[in-house]
Amino acid sequence: MTHRNRLAGETSPYLLQHADNPVDWRPWGDEAIGLARREDKPILVSIGYSACHWCHVMAHESFENEEIASLMNDLFVCVKVDREERPDVDEIYMTSVQMMTGQGGWPLNVFLTPDLRPFFGGTYFPPERRYGRSSWPEVLKAVAEAYRLRRDDVEKTAGELAEQIHRHGNRPGGGEEHLLGPAVIDRALSAMNRSFDETHGGFGAAPKFPRTVDLSLILRRFAKTKDVEQLRMVTVSLDNMAAGGMYDQIGGGFHRYSTDERWLVPHFEKMLYDNALLARLYAEAYQVTRHAGYARVASEILDFVEREMTSSDGGFYSAFDADSEGHEGKFYVWTAAEVEAVLGPDDARHFGRMYDVDEGGNFEGKSIPHQVKSPEQMASIAGIDGETFKTRRKEWLRKLYEARSKRVRPGLDDKILADWNGLMISACARGGRILEEPRYVAMGRAAADFVLAKMDGGAELYHSCRDGRAGVIGMLDDYAFFIAGLLDLWEATFEPRWLLEARRLQEIQDGLLWDRASAGYFMAKAAPDVLVRMKSGHDGATPGGNAVSALNILRLGRLTGEPGYEQRATALMKQFMPPAEQAPQSYAQLLIALDYALSPSREIVIVGEPGSEAVESLVRVVWERFLPGAVVAGVAADAAGVAAGPLSAYPLAEGRSMVEGKPAAYVCEGYACKLPATSADELRAALEGR
C-alpha cells in the first residue's frame, strides 16, 4: 500500500524520509498543536536527523509497520521533527527525557500534553520486547491509558517537568567579577588531564568523540604557557584520530565518533560541523608544530567538503548518512580481495600492511582501513625512498577512491544550515590562510555569499535552506557561528564587507535574543509553539552559542574600540560562570572566550593596497604563527599612503599610514606599540618581541 502523509510538502530530507510512512505524521507547528487541543489528544513528538542510524532502524521496524502505525494514529497526534531544523524544540524535549531517564539521544520520542508539556519519553524502542526494553506498542498503549485514566497524575508530572525545564533553561547567573579569572581555566585543564587517554589520545573511554573544543582550549593555553604536556595531549589525540578508522583514509573527512577507545570503528555518519571544527583544529596544530601531517589532514578534509558537500551555489550541505543499502558503513569497508582487484597483488599487499586490510578483517568480516604503519616504515619495508613511496600511496588512494565511488553511496542530507555553514566558513578562511591555499578561502567566501543572498531576510537570518527555499527563523547558533565565520573571513581577506556584515548581524542578534532581565542570549525568539525559551552556555556537539557570541563581541570590541562590546561580553561570561565553575569541562568554548578576555590586547594592523604582493608578504608572516589572542586588521591606503576606506574611522587605523611608499605593519601589545615594520623580517622580529 502506498502512503503519503503531511510531511510530503516539507523540505527537510529527514522529514521527507518519513513522508511515505503509514503513520499520519505532521510537521511541528500550529496545525498539529491545534488538532491536539481540539481533540484533547496527547502529542507524540519523534525527533531525529537524516544521518542517524538508530532513527532509520526504528523507522523501518515500527514507523513502516501498518499495525503499529495504526495504533499511533488512533492514540496520538503524531509529529516528526528534524532536530537540525528545530534545535530549539529538540533542546527542550531532550532535556526533559534526560531528566526523566538520566540519558538521551536520537531517535527521541516524547509524549506531550496538548499544551506542549512533556510527561513521558525515551529514545529507541524495539517493535517487540527485547533485551529488557519495553516494545514500542507496549509504550504506546501504556502512555495512552495513563493519559485517559490517570490524567491527574499525567498533569502533575507534566507540570513538574515543565518547571524543571524552565529552571534548567534559565538558571540564575550573574557571578561575581572575581570568577572571571584564570583559575577556572586551570581547573578545566586539570580535569581534561585526568581523563586523558595516554595511549590512544582523546578523553575518557568508549564511545569516544573528538572533543574538538576541549583540544582547542588546550592548544590556546599552550600558546601562552609553552607547557609541552599540554601540547602532547593535543598531538597524541590528533595523531591517533587521523590514523584511525574514524578518519576516512580513502576519501578524507571524519566520521561522527568512535565506538571503541582506539578510534578504529566509527559511527559512520559524516557531519559538516565535525569536519569544520576538525579542519580548523588540524590547521592550527600545523601552525603550532609545522608537522606536515596536520596540514595534509586539514587539506584532505576541506577537499572532501569541496568535492562532496558543496552545492553549486556555494552553500555547504549538512551530512552523509551512516548507512547504504541498509547496512551501516557498507560504503567504507573493504575485503582484501576487493583491494587486490583495484591495486593488483603487490600494491594490495603493501596497502594491506599499512592500513590493516587482510582476509580476517577488523569489522564484521571486512576491514576498515586505518593506518598501522607510517609512510616511513612502509617505504623501508618496500625498499624505496620516502618521496617515491608517498607518490605511490597517493596513487593507491586515488584508485580506491574511484572504485569506491561506483558503490551505492550513503544518503546525503542536502539542506544548508546557517550555523553549520558558519563553522565551515571559519575553517575555510583560517585553513586557507594557514595552508596558503586561496581555493579554500574562496570556498568560505562563496558560502558566506550564499547565506547572505538566500538566508538573510534583512531583519533576521533564516536557519535552513533547501532547493532555494529558506525556512525556520534563525536561532542563536545561526547568528553566533555565522558572525564568527564572517570575522574569520574578514581576517583572511581584509574585505571590509565581511566585518560590516558581522557588525550588522550582531546588532540584530542583540535585539532579538539578548536577555534584558539578566544577561546572555536566548536560544530562540519567543514563539507560541515553544514551551520554554532556553538559555545555556555549555558546549554540545558544537560549541555553545553564548560562548561563541562572547568571543565574537570581544573581537568586535577590540576591532572597533567600542566599549559596549566588552561590557556585554563581561556580563555574558559572568552569567554563565557559576555553572562553569561547577563543570568547567562542559564550558570549554566559554573558557576560550575568557582566556581571550584575560590576554593582553595584541593588535596587528597592515596598511597598504589589499591583495598586493607587498601586503601579502606581510600577511603571510602573520599566518605563520598561532596567535589566538591577536586582532588582525588590514586597511587600504589612499594616494598619500594614509589609512582610508570604511575602517579608517576605527581607533586601530588612527594615525596609521604606509612608510616611504611601502605597506607597513603596526604591532601593538599591552597598550604599547612597536615601530612599523615594512618587510617580512622586520615583522617577524616585532612578533617575536625582538
pLDDT in tens, 465-502: 999 899 899 999 999 999 999 999 999 999 999 999 99
3-state secondary structure 46-87: EEECCCCHHHHHHHHHHHCCHHHHHHHHHHCEEEEEECCCCH
The predicted pLDDT at position 453 comes to: 97
Q: How many CA atoms are closer than 13 Å to the CA of 119, on its beta-carbon side?
A: 25
Identity of residue 467:
D
**CA separation for the pair 99, 94 (Å, rounded):** 9
Q: What is the pTM of this model?
A: 0.94
The predicted pLDDT at position 556 comes to: 96
The predicted pLDDT at position 173 comes to: 61
Residue 326: pLDDT band (50, 70, 90) is confident
3 state DSSP class of 659:
strand
Let me know if residue 436 belongs to a domain: no
Q: Read off the pLDDT of residues 197-233 as tens digits, 9 standing for 90 and up.
A: 999 999 999 999 999 999 999 999 999 999 999 999 9
Signed CA dihedral, 406, 411, 417, 423: sign only = negative
Residue 430: pLDDT band (50, 70, 90) is very high
Residue 170 has pLDDT above 80, yes or no: no
**CA separation for the pair 42, 47 (Å, rounded):** 16
The predicted pLDDT at position 690 comes to: 61
The residues, any chain, with a CB within 8 Å of residue 577's CB and separated by 6 or more, are: 173, 175, 179, 180, 184, 590
The residues, any chain, with a CB within 8 Å of residue 175's CB and separated by 6 or more, are: 574, 575, 577, 578, 581
Higher pLDDT, 376 or 432: 432
The predicted pLDDT at position 641 comes to: 83
Say if CB 247 and CB 258 are below 8 A apart: no
- Where does 265-355 show beta strands of DSSP type E? 266-267, 270-271, 319-320, 323-324, 327-328
Q: Residue 238: left if φ>0, alpha if ψ -120 to 50, beta else—which one?
A: alpha
Strand 469-473 to 416-417 pairing: unpaired
**What are the C-alpha distances in Å from 572 to residues 116, 550, 598?**
30, 7, 15
Residue 188 has pLDDT above 80, yes or no: yes
Let me know if residue 65 belongs to a domain: yes
User: Which of 137, 169, 201 marks a domain boundary?
Assistant: 169
Say if CB 93 and CB 110 are below 8 A apart: yes
CB neighbour class for 517 (10 Å; exposed up to 12, middle 13-18, buried from 19): exposed
Let me know if residue 585 belongs to a domain: no
Higher pLDDT, 301 or 104: 301
User: Which of 169, 198, 226 marks a domain boundary?
Assistant: 169
**CA separation for the pair 574, 387 (Å, rounded):** 53
The predicted pLDDT at position 3 comes to: 78
pLDDT, mean over the chain:
93
Residue with cell 499511533: 72
**What are the C-alpha distances in Å from 667 to residues 604, 609, 690?**
5, 18, 12
Residue 564 has pLDDT above 60, yes or no: yes
Let me know if residue 657 belongs to a domain: yes
**CA separation for the pair 32, 47 (Å, rounded):** 15
**CA separation for the pair 524, 532 (Å, rounded):** 10
Mean pLDDT value across residues 666-685: 89
Say if CB 140 and CB 76 are below 8 A apart: yes
DSSP for 121-184, written as a single string: EES---SS-BTTBPPHHHHHHHHHHHHHH-HHHHHHHHHHHHHHHHHHHT------GGGSSTHH
**CA separation for the pair 291, 293 (Å, rounded):** 5
The predicted pLDDT at position 166 comes to: 85
CATH number of the domain at 652, please: 3.40.30
Say if CB 218 and CB 230 are below 8 A apart: yes
Let me know if residue 615 belongs to a domain: yes
Mean pLDDT value across residues 603-617: 92
Say if CB 604 and CB 667 are below 8 A apart: yes
Say if CB 484 and CB 432 are below 8 A apart: no
Residue 298 has pLDDT above 90, yes or no: yes
- Where does 289-346 show beta strands of DSSP type E? 319-320, 323-324, 327-328
**CA separation for the pair 422, 512 (Å, rounded):** 19
Say if CB 688 and CB 624 are below 8 A apart: no
Give the DSSP H/E element, type plus range, for residue 616.
Answer: helix 613-623
Identity of residue 73:
N
Percentage of residues in the chain having pLDDT higher than 90: 82
CATH number of the domain at 76, please: 3.40.30.10
Strand 26-27 to 77-82 pairing: parallel
**CA separation for the pair 240, 543 (Å, rounded):** 23
Residue 169 has pLDDT above 80, yes or no: no
The predicted pLDDT at position 493 comes to: 95
Residue 413: pLDDT band (50, 70, 90) is very high
Residue 142 has pLDDT above 90, yes or no: yes
Strand 266-267 to 257-258 pairing: antiparallel
**CA separation for the pair 70, 22 (Å, rounded):** 8
Let me know if residue 192 belongs to a domain: no
Residue 519 sits at φ, ψ, to 5 deg, of -170, 165
Say if CB 207 and CB 172 are below 8 A apart: no
The residues, any chain, with a CB within 8 Å of residue 311's CB and separated by 6 or more, are: 317, 414, 416, 450
Cell of 111: 509524549
Say if CB 492 and CB 445 are below 8 A apart: no
Residue 132 has pLDDT above 70, yes or no: yes
The predicted pLDDT at position 137 comes to: 95
The predicted pLDDT at position 171 comes to: 65
The predicted pLDDT at position 172 comes to: 57
Largest CA distance in the chain: 87
Per the structure, the count of domains in the chain is 3
The predicted pLDDT at position 218 comes to: 98
Residue 660 sits at φ, ψ, to 5 deg, of 50, 40
Residue 313 has pLDDT above 90, yes or no: yes
**CA separation for the pair 19, 21 (Å, rounded):** 6
Q: Which domain holds residue 76?
A: 13-169
User: Which of 406, 437, 453 marks a domain boundary?
Assistant: 406
Let me know if residue 212 belongs to a domain: no
- Where does 296-439 show beta strands of DSSP type E? 319-320, 323-324, 327-328, 412-413, 416-417
Let me know if residue 289 belongs to a domain: no
Identity of residue 359:
E
The predicted pLDDT at position 357 comes to: 96
Q: Read off the pLDDT of residues 243-259 as tens digits, 9 standing for 90 and up.
A: 999 999 999 999 999 99
Mean pLDDT value across residues 55-69: 94
Residue 1 has pLDDT above 60, yes or no: no
Task: Name the nearest CA neighbour of 23 among 63, 56, 67, 62.
Answer: 63
Say if CB 272 and CB 424 are below 8 A apart: yes
Q: Facing residues of 270 across strands?
A: 320
**CA separation for the pair 265, 253 (Å, rounded):** 15
Residue 279 has pLDDT above 70, yes or no: yes
Residue with cell 502512503: 3
